[in-house]
Protein backbone atom coordinates (compact mmCIF):
# COMPACT_ATOMS: atom_id res chain seq x y z
CA UNK A 1 0.00 0.00 0.00
CA UNK A 2 2.98 2.25 0.40
CA UNK A 3 4.09 2.66 -3.16
CA UNK A 4 2.85 4.72 -5.97
CA UNK A 5 1.81 1.75 -7.95
CA UNK A 6 -0.74 2.18 -10.64
CA UNK A 7 -0.53 -0.13 -13.58
CA UNK A 8 0.95 1.36 -16.64
CA UNK A 9 -0.49 0.32 -19.96
CA UNK A 10 1.76 1.49 -22.73
CA UNK A 11 -0.14 4.61 -23.47
CA UNK A 12 -1.17 7.04 -20.82
CA UNK A 13 -4.81 7.07 -20.07
CA UNK A 14 -6.71 10.28 -19.87
CA UNK A 15 -7.93 11.55 -16.55
CA UNK A 16 -11.26 10.13 -15.61
CA UNK A 17 -13.83 12.06 -13.73
CA UNK A 18 -13.67 10.71 -10.17
CA UNK A 19 -16.68 8.88 -8.90
CA UNK A 20 -18.29 10.96 -6.23
CA UNK A 21 -19.81 9.70 -2.98
CA UNK A 22 -17.69 6.57 -2.82
CA UNK A 23 -16.77 4.46 0.15
CA UNK A 24 -13.19 4.35 1.42
CA UNK A 25 -11.22 1.61 -0.36
CA UNK A 26 -9.37 0.75 2.82
CA UNK A 27 -11.93 0.37 5.59
CA UNK A 28 -14.85 0.12 3.20
CA UNK A 29 -17.03 1.84 5.78
CA UNK A 30 -16.48 5.54 6.05
CA UNK A 31 -17.26 7.61 3.03
CA UNK A 32 -14.28 8.77 1.04
CA UNK A 33 -12.83 12.19 1.73
CA UNK A 34 -9.94 12.24 -0.76
CA UNK A 35 -9.27 10.65 -4.11
CA UNK A 36 -5.55 10.37 -4.55
CA UNK A 37 -5.60 8.55 -7.84
CA UNK A 38 -8.38 7.16 -9.95
CA UNK A 39 -9.93 4.40 -7.89
CA UNK A 40 -8.10 5.16 -4.65
CA UNK A 41 -10.56 6.96 -2.44
CA UNK A 42 -9.75 7.21 1.25
CA UNK A 43 -11.67 8.36 4.27
CA UNK A 44 -10.03 10.90 6.51
CA UNK A 45 -8.76 8.39 9.04
CA UNK A 46 -7.38 5.92 6.54
CA UNK A 47 -5.75 8.67 4.54
CA UNK A 48 -3.92 9.88 7.61
CA UNK A 49 -2.76 6.40 8.44
CA UNK A 50 -1.64 5.78 4.87
CA UNK A 51 0.24 9.07 4.77
CA UNK A 52 2.07 8.53 8.03
CA UNK A 53 2.85 4.94 7.25
CA UNK A 54 4.39 5.87 3.93
CA UNK A 55 6.90 8.18 5.59
CA UNK A 56 8.10 5.60 8.09
CA UNK A 57 8.14 2.92 5.41
CA UNK A 58 10.35 5.03 3.18
CA UNK A 59 12.89 5.57 5.94
CA UNK A 60 12.60 1.99 7.16
CA UNK A 61 13.10 0.51 3.72
CA UNK A 62 16.22 2.48 2.97
CA UNK A 63 17.92 2.18 6.36
CA UNK A 64 20.25 5.04 5.78
CA UNK A 65 19.49 7.05 8.86
CA UNK A 66 20.96 5.51 11.97
CA UNK A 67 19.33 5.65 15.37
CA UNK A 68 20.72 8.52 17.37
CA UNK A 69 22.09 10.21 14.26
CA UNK A 70 21.77 13.97 13.88
CA UNK A 71 19.61 14.82 10.90
CA UNK A 72 19.21 18.30 9.50
CA UNK A 73 15.84 18.98 7.88
CA UNK A 74 16.00 21.47 5.04
CA UNK A 75 12.75 23.39 5.28
CA UNK A 76 11.94 25.96 2.63
CA UNK A 77 8.59 26.97 4.04
CA UNK A 78 6.76 25.27 1.17
CA UNK A 79 4.06 22.61 1.62
CA UNK A 80 6.27 19.60 0.97
CA UNK A 81 9.12 20.36 3.35
CA UNK A 82 6.69 21.59 5.99
CA UNK A 83 4.81 18.33 5.65
CA UNK A 84 8.08 16.50 6.12
CA UNK A 85 8.76 18.50 9.24
CA UNK A 86 5.38 17.58 10.65
CA UNK A 87 5.96 13.90 9.88
CA UNK A 88 9.25 14.00 11.74
CA UNK A 89 7.56 15.66 14.69
CA UNK A 90 4.88 13.00 14.72
CA UNK A 91 7.37 10.21 14.36
CA UNK A 92 9.47 11.42 17.25
CA UNK A 93 6.60 12.05 19.61
CA UNK A 94 6.47 9.85 22.66
CA UNK A 95 3.34 7.99 21.67
CA UNK A 96 4.29 7.33 18.06
CA UNK A 97 3.54 3.82 16.96
CA UNK A 98 6.78 3.12 15.12
CA UNK A 99 8.99 5.69 16.65
CA UNK A 100 11.66 7.45 14.62
CA UNK A 101 15.01 7.41 16.35
CA UNK A 102 17.14 10.25 15.13
CA UNK A 103 17.92 13.74 16.39
CA UNK A 104 16.47 16.45 14.18
CA UNK A 105 17.43 20.04 13.51
CA UNK A 106 16.05 22.50 10.98
CA UNK A 107 17.84 24.65 8.45
CA UNK A 108 16.21 27.38 6.44
CA UNK A 109 18.03 29.50 3.89
CA UNK A 110 16.84 33.04 3.54
CA UNK A 111 17.31 33.92 -0.11
CA UNK A 112 15.73 37.33 0.16
CA UNK A 113 19.03 39.02 -0.60
CA UNK A 114 19.21 37.38 -4.00
CA UNK A 115 15.64 38.42 -4.75
CA UNK A 116 16.17 42.00 -3.80
CA UNK A 117 13.78 41.90 -0.86
CA UNK A 118 13.94 44.74 1.62
CA UNK A 119 15.37 44.17 5.07
CA UNK A 120 11.87 44.58 6.51
CA UNK A 121 10.38 41.95 4.21
CA UNK A 122 13.13 39.54 5.12
CA UNK A 123 12.66 40.17 8.82
CA UNK A 124 8.95 39.59 8.50
CA UNK A 125 9.29 36.26 6.71
CA UNK A 126 12.10 35.24 9.02
CA UNK A 127 9.96 35.91 12.06
CA UNK A 128 7.15 33.83 10.63
CA UNK A 129 9.43 30.88 10.07
CA UNK A 130 11.10 31.34 13.41
CA UNK A 131 7.74 31.07 15.12
CA UNK A 132 6.97 27.91 13.19
CA UNK A 133 10.32 26.33 13.97
CA UNK A 134 10.19 27.30 17.63
CA UNK A 135 6.89 25.50 17.95
CA UNK A 136 8.58 22.23 17.01
CA UNK A 137 11.09 22.50 19.83
CA UNK A 138 13.84 21.39 17.45
CA UNK A 139 17.06 23.37 17.13
CA UNK A 140 16.96 25.49 14.02
CA UNK A 141 19.30 27.57 11.87
CA UNK A 142 18.08 30.43 9.78
CA UNK A 143 20.90 31.10 7.38
CA UNK A 144 21.01 34.09 5.06
CA UNK A 145 22.22 33.17 1.58
CA UNK A 146 24.86 35.89 1.95
CA UNK A 147 26.79 33.42 4.08
CA UNK A 148 27.99 31.67 0.95
CA UNK A 149 30.40 34.55 0.61
CA UNK A 150 32.21 33.36 3.71
CA UNK A 151 32.26 29.65 3.07
CA UNK A 152 35.56 27.78 3.31
CA UNK A 153 36.92 26.01 0.25
CA UNK A 154 36.45 22.68 1.98
CA UNK A 155 32.78 22.88 1.00
CA UNK A 156 33.69 22.06 -2.57
CA UNK A 157 36.02 19.26 -1.60
CA UNK A 158 34.64 15.82 -1.13
CA UNK A 159 35.09 14.68 2.46
CA UNK A 160 35.84 11.05 3.18
CA UNK A 161 32.62 9.20 3.88
CA UNK A 162 32.15 8.09 7.44
CA UNK A 163 32.94 4.45 6.58
CA UNK A 164 30.41 2.36 4.72
CA UNK A 165 27.86 1.12 7.15
CA UNK A 166 26.39 -2.18 6.12
CA UNK A 167 23.04 -3.54 7.20
CA UNK A 168 24.39 -5.31 10.25
CA UNK A 169 25.81 -2.06 11.53
CA UNK A 170 22.34 -0.61 11.35
CA UNK A 171 20.95 -3.37 13.56
CA UNK A 172 23.64 -3.02 16.17
CA UNK A 173 23.15 0.72 16.15
CA UNK A 174 19.46 0.19 16.82
CA UNK A 175 20.26 -2.07 19.75
CA UNK A 176 22.86 0.26 21.15
CA UNK A 177 20.39 3.07 20.86
CA UNK A 178 17.60 1.22 22.62
CA UNK A 179 19.93 0.33 25.49
CA UNK A 180 21.20 3.82 25.94
CA UNK A 181 18.87 6.22 27.62
CA UNK A 182 17.16 7.42 24.54
CA UNK A 183 14.79 9.75 26.28
CA UNK A 184 17.49 12.26 27.11
CA UNK A 185 18.86 12.66 23.66
CA UNK A 186 15.46 12.96 22.14
CA UNK A 187 14.38 15.81 24.30
CA UNK A 188 14.84 18.85 22.14
CA UNK A 189 17.07 21.38 23.73
CA UNK A 190 15.61 24.71 24.39
CA UNK A 191 16.75 26.99 21.68
CA UNK A 192 18.28 30.03 23.27
CA UNK A 193 16.19 32.91 22.20
CA UNK A 194 17.91 33.73 18.96
CA UNK A 195 17.24 36.85 17.09
CA UNK A 196 17.46 36.61 13.34
CA UNK A 197 21.02 36.81 12.04
CA UNK A 198 22.06 40.21 10.84
CA UNK A 199 23.26 40.58 7.31
CA UNK A 200 25.84 43.12 6.30
CA UNK A 201 24.64 45.36 3.56
CA UNK A 202 27.90 44.96 1.66
CA UNK A 203 27.37 41.21 1.66
CA UNK A 204 23.93 41.59 0.20
CA UNK A 205 25.38 43.83 -2.45
CA UNK A 206 28.07 41.30 -3.36
CA UNK A 207 25.43 38.62 -3.61
CA UNK A 208 23.36 40.81 -5.86
CA UNK A 209 26.37 41.48 -8.06
CA UNK A 210 26.84 37.77 -8.41
CA UNK A 211 23.21 37.19 -9.30
CA UNK A 212 23.24 40.11 -11.71
CA UNK A 213 26.29 38.74 -13.48
CA UNK A 214 24.19 35.76 -14.53
CA UNK A 215 22.29 36.79 -17.62
CA UNK A 216 19.49 34.23 -17.78
CA UNK A 217 16.96 33.13 -15.21
CA UNK A 218 17.69 29.50 -16.09
CA UNK A 219 21.32 29.89 -15.10
CA UNK A 220 20.43 31.98 -12.06
CA UNK A 221 18.17 29.32 -10.71
CA UNK A 222 20.77 26.67 -11.41
CA UNK A 223 23.51 28.62 -9.68
CA UNK A 224 21.31 29.45 -6.74
CA UNK A 225 20.50 25.79 -6.40
CA UNK A 226 24.21 24.97 -6.21
CA UNK A 227 24.95 27.69 -3.68
CA UNK A 228 22.03 26.56 -1.56
CA UNK A 229 23.44 23.03 -1.53
CA UNK A 230 26.81 24.37 -0.43
CA UNK A 231 25.23 26.24 2.45
CA UNK A 232 23.22 23.20 3.53
CA UNK A 233 26.31 21.03 3.57
CA UNK A 234 28.35 23.63 5.37
CA UNK A 235 25.68 24.16 8.02
CA UNK A 236 25.38 20.42 8.53
CA UNK A 237 29.13 20.06 8.91
CA UNK A 238 29.62 22.92 11.31
CA UNK A 239 26.65 21.95 13.46
CA UNK A 240 27.59 18.29 13.56
CA UNK A 241 24.83 16.77 11.44
CA UNK A 242 25.60 13.85 9.18
CA UNK A 243 22.36 13.64 7.21
CA UNK A 244 20.41 16.23 5.35
CA UNK A 245 16.71 15.65 4.77
CA UNK A 246 15.19 17.27 1.70
CA UNK A 247 11.47 17.62 1.16
CA UNK A 248 11.25 16.92 -2.58
CA UNK A 249 7.92 15.35 -3.48
CA UNK A 250 7.46 12.91 -6.31
CA UNK A 251 5.98 15.72 -8.39
CA UNK A 252 8.96 17.96 -7.68
CA UNK A 253 11.36 15.17 -8.54
CA UNK A 254 9.63 14.47 -11.85
CA UNK A 255 10.02 18.16 -12.70
CA UNK A 256 13.61 18.09 -11.52
CA UNK A 257 14.39 15.05 -13.62
CA UNK A 258 13.05 16.59 -16.77
CA UNK A 259 14.78 19.88 -15.95
CA UNK A 260 18.09 18.13 -15.36
CA UNK A 261 17.79 16.39 -18.71
CA UNK A 262 17.31 19.74 -20.41
CA UNK A 263 20.20 21.31 -18.54
CA UNK A 264 22.57 18.59 -19.74
CA UNK A 265 22.76 17.00 -16.31
CA UNK A 266 21.81 13.50 -17.40
CA UNK A 267 24.86 11.98 -15.75
CA UNK A 268 23.73 13.28 -12.35
CA UNK A 269 20.10 12.29 -12.52
CA UNK A 270 20.39 9.46 -10.06
CA UNK A 271 21.94 11.74 -7.45
CA UNK A 272 19.62 14.63 -8.19
CA UNK A 273 16.46 12.59 -7.90
CA UNK A 274 17.24 9.38 -5.99
CA UNK A 275 16.47 8.61 -2.36
CA UNK A 276 19.98 9.38 -1.22
CA UNK A 277 22.82 11.47 -2.55
CA UNK A 278 26.35 11.09 -1.28
CA UNK A 279 28.24 13.43 -3.55
CA UNK A 280 29.70 15.33 -0.59
CA UNK A 281 31.02 12.19 1.05
CA UNK A 282 30.38 12.80 4.72
CA UNK A 283 26.99 14.52 4.49
CA UNK A 284 24.36 12.38 2.84
CA UNK A 285 21.14 13.90 1.56
CA UNK A 286 17.96 11.86 1.73
CA UNK A 287 14.53 12.51 0.23
CA UNK A 288 11.88 10.81 2.32
CA UNK A 289 9.00 12.66 0.64
CA UNK A 290 9.73 11.23 -2.78
CA UNK A 291 6.77 8.86 -2.76
CA UNK A 292 4.20 11.58 -2.17
CA UNK A 293 2.61 13.53 -4.96
CA UNK A 294 2.17 17.26 -4.51
CA UNK A 295 -1.56 16.65 -4.51
CA UNK A 296 -1.43 14.17 -1.63
CA UNK A 297 0.68 16.57 0.35
CA UNK A 298 -1.63 19.48 -0.16
CA UNK A 299 -4.64 17.34 0.82
CA UNK A 300 -2.89 16.24 3.95
CA UNK A 301 -1.65 19.67 4.92
CA UNK A 302 -5.08 21.05 4.40
CA UNK A 303 -6.96 18.35 6.29
CA UNK A 304 -4.58 18.22 9.22
CA UNK A 305 -3.66 21.89 9.35
CA UNK A 306 0.04 21.61 8.63
CA UNK A 307 1.30 25.18 8.41
CA UNK A 308 3.44 26.39 5.55
CA UNK A 309 4.68 29.81 4.53
CA UNK A 310 4.65 31.33 1.08
CA UNK A 311 8.22 32.26 0.22
CA UNK A 312 8.81 34.11 -3.04
CA UNK A 313 11.53 32.70 -5.25
CA UNK A 314 13.49 33.82 -8.30
CA UNK A 315 10.74 32.77 -10.68
CA UNK A 316 7.79 34.10 -8.73
CA UNK A 317 5.77 36.41 -10.94
CA UNK A 318 7.58 35.44 -14.11
CA UNK A 319 6.10 33.97 -17.25
CA UNK A 320 6.12 30.32 -18.24
CA UNK A 321 8.94 30.81 -20.65
CA UNK A 322 11.17 32.76 -18.32
CA UNK A 323 13.39 29.78 -17.54
CA UNK A 324 13.82 26.12 -18.32
CA UNK A 325 12.95 25.23 -14.73
CA UNK A 326 9.79 27.26 -14.83
CA UNK A 327 8.72 25.98 -18.25
CA UNK A 328 9.28 22.38 -17.20
CA UNK A 329 7.19 22.87 -14.09
CA UNK A 330 4.31 24.24 -16.12
CA UNK A 331 4.69 21.49 -18.69
CA UNK A 332 4.63 18.66 -16.16
CA UNK A 333 1.76 20.18 -14.22
CA UNK A 334 -0.33 20.58 -17.35
CA UNK A 335 0.46 17.12 -18.64
CA UNK A 336 -0.35 15.63 -15.25
CA UNK A 337 -3.75 17.27 -15.51
CA UNK A 338 -4.41 15.52 -18.82
CA UNK A 339 -2.63 12.26 -18.05
CA UNK A 340 -2.64 11.43 -14.34
CA UNK A 341 0.17 8.91 -14.59
CA UNK A 342 2.67 11.42 -16.02
CA UNK A 343 4.45 12.17 -12.77
CA UNK A 344 4.68 8.60 -11.58
CA UNK A 345 5.95 7.42 -14.95
CA UNK A 346 8.72 10.00 -15.03
CA UNK A 347 9.46 9.31 -11.40
CA UNK A 348 9.84 5.62 -12.01
CA UNK A 349 12.35 6.38 -14.74
CA UNK A 350 14.49 7.96 -12.05
CA UNK A 351 14.44 4.79 -10.02
CA UNK A 352 16.01 2.87 -12.86
CA UNK A 353 19.01 5.13 -13.18
CA UNK A 354 22.35 5.24 -11.49
CA UNK A 355 25.12 7.75 -11.47
CA UNK A 356 27.51 7.59 -14.35
CA UNK A 357 30.49 7.50 -12.05
CA UNK A 358 30.36 3.79 -11.33
CA UNK A 359 29.51 2.76 -7.79
CA UNK A 360 29.80 5.07 -4.84
CA UNK A 361 32.79 3.22 -3.42
CA UNK A 362 35.00 4.07 -6.35
CA UNK A 363 33.42 7.46 -6.72
CA UNK A 364 36.20 9.05 -4.72
CA UNK A 365 38.51 8.62 -7.64
CA UNK A 366 36.46 10.58 -10.11
CA UNK A 367 37.33 14.08 -10.98
CA UNK A 368 34.55 16.20 -9.60
CA UNK A 369 32.84 19.33 -10.75
CA UNK A 370 33.98 22.40 -8.86
CA UNK A 371 30.41 23.62 -8.41
CA UNK A 372 27.95 20.76 -8.17
CA UNK A 373 30.46 18.14 -7.02
CA UNK A 374 29.27 15.53 -9.47
CA UNK A 375 31.67 13.38 -11.43
CA UNK A 376 32.86 15.20 -14.53
CA UNK A 377 30.96 14.05 -17.59
CA UNK A 378 33.03 15.83 -20.20
CA UNK A 379 35.54 13.14 -21.13
CA UNK A 380 35.53 12.21 -24.79
CA UNK A 381 34.19 8.70 -24.48
CA UNK A 382 30.85 9.62 -22.95
CA UNK A 383 30.32 13.03 -24.40
CA UNK A 384 30.19 12.89 -28.13
CA UNK A 385 27.44 15.51 -28.31
CA UNK A 386 29.62 17.77 -26.23
CA UNK A 387 32.56 17.24 -28.52
CA UNK A 388 30.41 17.74 -31.57
CA UNK A 389 29.56 21.17 -30.19
CA UNK A 390 33.18 21.99 -29.52
CA UNK A 391 33.97 21.02 -33.08
CA UNK A 392 31.16 23.25 -34.35
CA UNK A 393 32.56 26.16 -32.37
CA UNK A 394 36.02 25.48 -33.65
CA UNK A 395 34.80 25.28 -37.23
CA UNK A 396 32.92 28.54 -36.93
CA UNK A 397 35.91 30.55 -35.83
CA UNK A 398 39.10 31.75 -37.35
CA UNK A 399 41.42 28.85 -36.72
CA UNK A 400 43.24 29.02 -33.43
CA UNK A 401 46.22 26.72 -33.22
CA UNK A 402 45.36 23.68 -31.10
CA UNK A 403 41.92 25.03 -30.42
CA UNK A 404 39.38 23.92 -27.92
CA UNK A 405 40.10 20.77 -26.06
CA UNK A 406 38.56 19.65 -22.89
CA UNK A 407 41.69 18.61 -21.10
CA UNK A 408 42.86 21.03 -18.51
CA UNK A 409 45.02 23.36 -20.54
CA UNK A 410 48.63 23.90 -19.68
CA UNK A 411 48.42 27.48 -18.77
CA UNK A 412 50.54 30.19 -17.39
CA UNK A 413 51.45 29.92 -13.74
CA UNK A 414 48.69 30.50 -11.30
CA UNK A 415 46.20 33.13 -12.19
CA UNK A 416 45.64 35.30 -9.19
CA UNK A 417 42.43 35.42 -7.26
CA UNK A 418 39.99 37.94 -8.54
CA UNK A 419 38.95 40.57 -6.14
CA UNK A 420 35.30 41.52 -6.36
CA UNK A 421 36.25 45.16 -6.28
CA UNK A 422 37.87 44.78 -9.63
CA UNK A 423 41.34 45.88 -8.55
CA UNK A 424 43.52 43.82 -10.70
CA UNK A 425 46.92 42.40 -10.23
CA UNK A 426 48.43 45.81 -9.71
CA UNK A 427 48.06 45.56 -5.95
CA UNK A 428 50.14 42.50 -5.21
CA UNK A 429 53.50 42.42 -6.87
CA UNK A 430 53.89 38.78 -5.99
CA UNK A 431 50.58 37.76 -7.43
CA UNK A 432 51.14 39.41 -10.75
CA UNK A 433 49.68 37.32 -13.45
CA UNK A 434 52.89 37.29 -15.40
CA UNK A 435 51.25 38.19 -18.64
CA UNK A 436 52.29 41.81 -18.57
CA UNK A 437 55.82 40.99 -19.49
CA UNK A 438 54.58 39.06 -22.45
CA UNK A 439 52.71 42.10 -23.59
CA UNK A 440 49.39 40.29 -23.34
CA UNK A 441 48.02 42.70 -20.78
CA UNK A 442 46.89 41.94 -17.30
CA UNK A 443 44.96 38.75 -16.85
CA UNK A 444 41.98 40.61 -15.49
CA UNK A 445 41.45 42.58 -18.60
CA UNK A 446 41.01 39.28 -20.36
CA UNK A 447 38.03 37.86 -18.57
CA UNK A 448 37.25 35.37 -21.23
CA UNK A 449 40.25 33.15 -20.55
CA UNK A 450 39.36 33.19 -16.87
CA UNK A 451 35.93 31.80 -17.65
CA UNK A 452 37.48 29.30 -20.00
CA UNK A 453 39.90 28.11 -17.35
CA UNK A 454 37.14 27.65 -14.86
CA UNK A 455 35.16 25.70 -17.44
CA UNK A 456 37.60 22.85 -17.52
CA UNK A 457 36.87 22.21 -13.85
CA UNK A 458 33.14 22.01 -14.39
CA UNK A 459 30.67 19.38 -15.48
CA UNK A 460 28.68 19.90 -18.65
CA UNK A 461 25.64 21.35 -16.88
CA UNK A 462 27.65 23.82 -14.81
CA UNK A 463 29.55 24.87 -17.93
CA UNK A 464 26.26 25.81 -19.53
CA UNK A 465 25.45 27.91 -16.49
CA UNK A 466 28.80 29.68 -16.54
CA UNK A 467 28.30 30.36 -20.21
CA UNK A 468 25.37 32.56 -19.28
CA UNK A 469 27.50 34.65 -16.94
CA UNK A 470 29.06 37.90 -18.01
CA UNK A 471 32.03 37.21 -15.76
CA UNK A 472 33.02 34.87 -12.98
CA UNK A 473 34.52 37.76 -11.12
CA UNK A 474 31.72 37.83 -8.58
CA UNK A 475 31.96 34.20 -7.62
CA UNK A 476 32.45 33.72 -3.89
CA UNK A 477 36.06 33.44 -2.88
CA UNK A 478 35.88 29.81 -1.78
CA UNK A 479 35.04 28.72 -5.30
CA UNK A 480 37.79 30.76 -6.91
CA UNK A 481 40.38 29.60 -4.38
CA UNK A 482 39.47 25.99 -4.85
CA UNK A 483 39.67 26.47 -8.60
CA UNK A 484 43.20 27.75 -8.19
CA UNK A 485 44.15 24.94 -5.90
CA UNK A 486 42.90 22.39 -8.40
CA UNK A 487 44.79 24.05 -11.20
CA UNK A 488 47.98 24.05 -9.16
CA UNK A 489 47.48 20.39 -8.39
CA UNK A 490 47.05 19.51 -12.01
CA UNK A 491 50.13 21.51 -12.91
CA UNK A 492 52.12 19.69 -10.29
CA UNK A 493 50.79 16.46 -11.57
CA UNK A 494 51.84 17.32 -15.06
CA UNK A 495 55.37 18.04 -13.91
CA UNK A 496 55.75 14.75 -12.15
CA UNK A 497 53.60 12.71 -14.44
CA UNK A 498 56.42 10.57 -15.80
CA UNK A 499 57.26 9.40 -12.28
CA UNK A 500 53.76 8.35 -11.37
CA UNK A 501 53.14 4.65 -11.54
CA UNK A 502 49.42 4.63 -11.18
CA UNK A 503 47.29 6.42 -13.67
CA UNK A 504 44.44 6.59 -11.23
CA UNK A 505 43.61 10.02 -10.07
CA UNK A 506 43.92 9.92 -6.32
CA UNK A 507 44.59 13.59 -6.37
CA UNK A 508 42.15 14.35 -3.65
CA UNK A 509 41.64 15.40 -0.80
CA UNK A 510 40.99 15.37 2.84
CA UNK A 511 43.03 12.18 3.23
Partner 1 sequence: MPVLCSRCAERRAMLKRPKTGHSLCKECFFWAFEEEVHQTIRWGPASGGKDSTVLAHVMKLLNERYSYGLELMLLSVDEGITGYRDDSLETVKRNQQQYELPLKVVSYEELYGWTMDAIVKQVGLKNNCTFCGVFRRQALDRGAIMLKVDKICTGHNADDVAETVLMNILRGDIARLRRCTAISTASEGEGVVPRCKPLKYAYEKEIVLYAYFKRLDYFSTECIYSPNAYRGYARNFLKDLESIRPSVIIDIIHSGENLSVREGVKMPVQGTCSRCGYISSQALCKSCVLLEGLNRGLPKLGIGKHHRLHNKILAQQPFTEKEESKLKPVEF
Binding positions for Zn ion, rule: CB under 5 A = 24, 26-27, 30, 43, 46, 369, 371-372, 459, 462
Please pick, from the candidates 84, 246, 346, 369, the single residue that binds partner 1 as defined by CB under 8 A: 346
Does 331 sit near partner 1 (CB under 8 A)?
yes
Q: If contact means CB under 5 to 8 A according to the sort of partner, which of Zn ion, partner 1, none does residue 333 touch?
A: none
Does 231 sit near partner 1 (CB under 8 A)?
no
Nearer to partner 1, 86 or 221 (CB): 221
Does 136 sit near partner 1 (CB under 8 A)?
no
Q: Which of residues 246-305 bind partner 1 (CB under 8 A)?
A: 257-258, 260-267, 269-270
The DSSP annotation for 40-56 comes to EEE-HHHHHHHHHHHHH
Candidate segments 3-11, 99-107, 170-178, 363-371, binder of partner 1 by CB under 8 A: 3-11
Instruction: Give the sign of the dihedral formed by CA 71, CA 76, CA 80, CA 82.
Output: positive
- Compute the distance between CA of residue 68 and CA of residue 89 in angstroms, rounded to an integer: 15
Does 402 sit near partner 1 (CB under 8 A)?
no
Nearer to partner 1, 238 or 397 (CB): 397
Angle at which helix 294-303 crosses helix 44-62, to 10 degrees, equals 130
Q: How far is the CB of 305 from Zn ion (least distance, A)?
A: 20
Contacts of 220 (CB under 8 A, 6+ apart): 211, 214, 314, 323
Q: How far is the CB of 27 from Zn ion (least distance, A)?
A: 3
Q: How far is the CB of 488 from partner 1 (least distance, A)?
A: 29
Q: What does DSSP assign to residue 368?
A: B
Nearer to partner 1, 109 or 255 (CB): 255
Q: Alpha helices of 213-341 — where are they, by DSSP H?
A: 217-239, 250-262, 269-273, 294-303, 324-338
- Compute the distance between CA of residue 438 and CA of residue 87 in angstroms, rounded to an integer: 64
Question: Please, which residues bridge with residue 42 across strands?
Answer: 34
Q: Would you say 288 and 63 are in contact if contact means Cβ atoms under 8 Å apart?
A: no
Angle at which helix 324-338 crosses helix 342-351, to 10 degrees, equals 120
Q: 432-466: buried (b, 16+ CB within 10 Å) or exposed (e) per residue?
A: bbbbeeeeeeebbeeeeebbebbbbbbbbbbbbbb
Q: If contact means CB under 5 to 8 A according to the sort of partner, which of partner 1, Zn ion, none does residue 26 touch?
A: Zn ion
Q: Which of residues 450-509 bind partner 1 (CB under 8 A)?
A: 460-461, 464
Per-residue binding letters, 367-386, with partner 1 (x by CB under 8 A): ----------x----xxxxx
Total chain residues near partner 1 (CB under 8 A): 57
Nearer to partner 1, 313 or 491 (CB): 313
- In the complex, the residues that contact partner 1 under the rule CB under 8 A are 8-12, 216, 218, 257-258, 260-267, 269-270, 320-324, 327-328, 331, 335, 342, 345-346, 348-349, 351-356, 377, 382-386, 388-389, 391-393, 395-398, 460-461, 464
Amino acid sequence: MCQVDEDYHGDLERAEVPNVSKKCVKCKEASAAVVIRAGDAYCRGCFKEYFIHKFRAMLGKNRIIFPGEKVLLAVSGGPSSCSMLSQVQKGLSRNAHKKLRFIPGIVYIDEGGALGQSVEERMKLGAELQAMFKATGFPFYIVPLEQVLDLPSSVVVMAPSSSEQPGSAYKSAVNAFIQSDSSTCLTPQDQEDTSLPEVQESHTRSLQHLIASVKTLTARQDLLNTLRQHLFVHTARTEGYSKLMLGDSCTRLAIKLLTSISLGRGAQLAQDTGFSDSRYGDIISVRPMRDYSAKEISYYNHMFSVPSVFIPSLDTKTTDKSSIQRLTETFVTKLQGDFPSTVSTIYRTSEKLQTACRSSSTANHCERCLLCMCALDTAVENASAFHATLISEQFSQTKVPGATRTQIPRQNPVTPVLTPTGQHCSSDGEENCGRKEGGGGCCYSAKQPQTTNLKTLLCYGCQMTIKDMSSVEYFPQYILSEAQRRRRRSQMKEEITEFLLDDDDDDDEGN
